[in-house]
Amino acid sequence: MSTSAVEPGTRLAERFRLEDRVSESDGATLWKAIDEILARPVAVHTFGPDFPRVHEVVTAARAASRLTDPRLTQVFDAAEDDDHSYVVSEWVTGESLTDLLSGGPLEPDRAAGLVAEAAEALAHAHEAKLYHLCLRPAHLVWTTGNTVKVLGLAVDAALSGLTTDQPALDDAEGLGRLLYAGLTGHWPGDEEEGGLPAAPMIDGHFCSPRQVTAGVPNYLDTVTVRACLPESRKGQGALASPSEVAEALADVARPMPIAISYPSTPAVASASHTEGLDIAHRQQRTLPPQPIMPRRPPNQGGGNVLNRVLMTLVVLLVIAAVGVGAWTIGRSLGGPATPEASSTPTTGKSSASASAQAVKPAKAKGFDPLGDDGDEKSDIAGLAIDGKPSTAWTTSSYGNAELGNLKKGVGLLLDMGKSMQISDVVATLAKAEGSSVDLKVGDSPDLDSLKTVATQKAASGKTTLTPEEPASGRYVLIWFTRVPADAGQFRGTIYEVVVHSPGSA
């Protein structure tokens, strides 16, 4: 179909109505369109008569349509003939990596989490012999539905005529560049990309992320170097495929999804947020029942009698409540000694709770005394006490919920700086159920010296661990004895920990 013949309002396949021309390049035009049957926005590529790769693009789109990973753009339709060649795919709304970087580099864990999701999605695509080959910041999107989406799999390479003899390595390098961009706000290429400045160089080589941005964890620096900076590897093996990148990032915390309640007619609401809200308001206005009085005989008074009876009952209940309240107040004023004596334990406990203050730990450590080296990802332990609920410390991944039957427990050890009484500890865990955690407190960081003061089974989300009896110590240990499922494996996650204390012991 000639681009000159395609204008806003054109309908393809008697279903897809073109609305806005988004971009045009080398004879291929991207449109925002409406699927009139399902009343939802879609993306449509059309092609001019001189576009040379229609067959390759349509073939790639048809192959991509068979993939089911929700992190990859879904293809709905693709057709090829002399007059009507087009590709219809999912219309994705959200913020691209370019948008996310407009305010500077991302938090390291967030950048790693986004790229880890993309790496897993591309690993699935590679299993089906489908490749991306042109990963750029605009291709990685955090959607309005709080999910990761990789745009343009197979199709964008066909549009550009890109081919390669080493697709796995090319996509691994592309993922490494995305991680580099997320960690530094720079693009490791010879030119700017999507508004990102080119990465700085030393002696003709790109600087590593840690050389560009302070605070990048060493392991993320290493993953990035192994994926896309061959000059800086210093003997380290390259990450040569998306699956290897995904494996290297398997332990990073993933972006937390936010629960969204969809309107009852999501297809219409997806076309316009305003329409969706209007629909919700109209539905609320229809909830009150319609008056039914006209259906009653005009001389029937049963309803009035019932109303009078109900009103009488309400008045009697109010009088009774007032009387009980007055009696309670009078009793309190007349005999203060008796209530004070009878409620001494409760008053003391509530008073201690009321005066408890949040105390920031001096430092945190991943604690694995039963493992080989005693450490459990201490390099990211500080993320659990940084005051940011979007960051997290995680355990290593295990083969089952019982820590792969390798050990009895693993945890996060907090050094409070000095001995103090512990009122409670509030830990925000992963939403997935299945965590079993103990709270241990003591004055020595040795496992045998830490006393278990609280236990919570089947824990998830915000979990409060309150000692069953007064507990004091310098060290606070959140000890996982069971971890929940996470992305096909099992690991514990702590997004944030808050320790409350009524004062120093």
Tell me what the mean pLDDT of segment 253-258 comes to: 70
Asked whether the predicted pLDDT for residue 4 surpasses 70, the reply is no
Q: Higher confidence at residue 345 or residue 43?
A: 43
Provide the whole-model pTM.
0.54
Tell me what the mean pLDDT of segment 189-200 comes to: 85
3-state SS, residue 394:
strand
Taking the domains of the chain in order of start, what are their residue ranges?
3-90, 94-248, 357-501
3-state SS, residue 113:
helix
Asked whether the predicted pLDDT for residue 151 surpasses 90, the reply is yes
**For the chain, what is the mean pLDDT?**
82
- What was the pLDDT predicted at 328? 56
Asked whether the predicted pLDDT for residue 335 surpasses 50, the reply is no
Residues forming a β-bridge with 411: 367, 479
Local confidence band at 330 (pLDDT 50, 70, 90 cut-offs): low
Q: Which residues are within 8 A (CB) of 329 and not within 5 positions of it... i.e. 6 or more apart?
A: none
3-state SS, residue 429:
strand
- What was the pLDDT predicted at 315? 64
Alpha helices in 290-422 (DSSP H): 302-334, 337-342, 344-355
Q: How far, in Å, CA of 160 to CA of 60, rounded? A: 12
CATH 3.30.200.20 fits 3-90, yes or no: yes
Query: CA distances (Å), 485 to each of 163, 426, 432, in order?
Result: 38, 21, 7
Q: Residue 432 — φ and ψ, nearest 5°?
A: -65, 130
pLDDT digits (tens, 9 = 90+) for 276-300: 323 233 333 333 333 333 333 334 4
- What was the pLDDT predicted at 211? 93
Q: Residue 475 — φ and ψ, nearest 5°?
A: -110, 135
Asked whether the predicted pLDDT for residue 253 surpasses 50, the reply is yes
Tell me what the mean pLDDT of segment 449-476 comes to: 92
Q: How far, in Å, CA of 60 to CA of 158, rounded? A: 7
pLDDT digits (tens, 9 = 90+) for 13-67: 999 999 999 999 889 999 999 999 999 999 999 998 889 999 999 999 999 999 9
Q: Residue 356 — φ and ψ, nearest 5°?
A: -65, 140
- What was the pLDDT predicted at 326? 59
- What was the pLDDT predicted at 262? 42
Query: CA distances (Å), 196 to each of 110, 172, 181, 217, 221, in order?
Result: 18, 20, 8, 22, 19
Q: Which residues are within 8 A (CB) of 132 and not within 5 positions of it... i.e. 6 or more apart?
A: 122, 125, 139, 150, 152, 153, 154, 156, 157, 171, 174
Tell me what the mean pLDDT of segment 115-130 comes to: 97
pLDDT digits (tens, 9 = 90+) for 56-84: 999 999 999 999 999 999 999 999 987 78
- What was the pLDDT predicted at 481? 94
Q: Are 86 and 46 in contact (CB under 8 A)?
A: yes
- Residue written as tokens 């410390």? 393
CATH 1.10.150.120 fits 357-501, yes or no: no
Q: CB-side exposure of 360: number of CA atoms within 13 Å?
A: 6
Local confidence band at 267 (pLDDT 50, 70, 90 cut-offs): very low
Tell me what the mean pLDDT of segment 106-123 comes to: 96
Q: Are 142 and 71 in contact (CB under 8 A)?
A: no
Thinking of the domain 94-248, which architecture would CATH place it in? Orthogonal Bundle (1.10)
What's the one-letter identity of residue 257? P
Local confidence band at 199 (pLDDT 50, 70, 90 cut-offs): very high
Q: Are 187 and 224 in contact (CB under 8 A)?
A: no
Q: Of 227, 244, 233, which is closest to residue 180 (Cα–Cα)?
A: 227
What is the full DSSP assignment across 434-474?
-EEEEEEEESSSSGGGPEEEEEEEEE-SEEEE--SS-EEEE
Asked whether the predicted pLDDT for residue 259 surpasses 50, the reply is no
- What was the pLDDT predicted at 272? 31
Asked whether the predicted pLDDT for residue 454 surpasses 70, the reply is yes
Q: Of 366, 368, 370, 369, which is closest to residue 378 (Cα–Cα)?
A: 366
Asked whether the predicted pLDDT for residue 338 surpasses 70, the reply is no
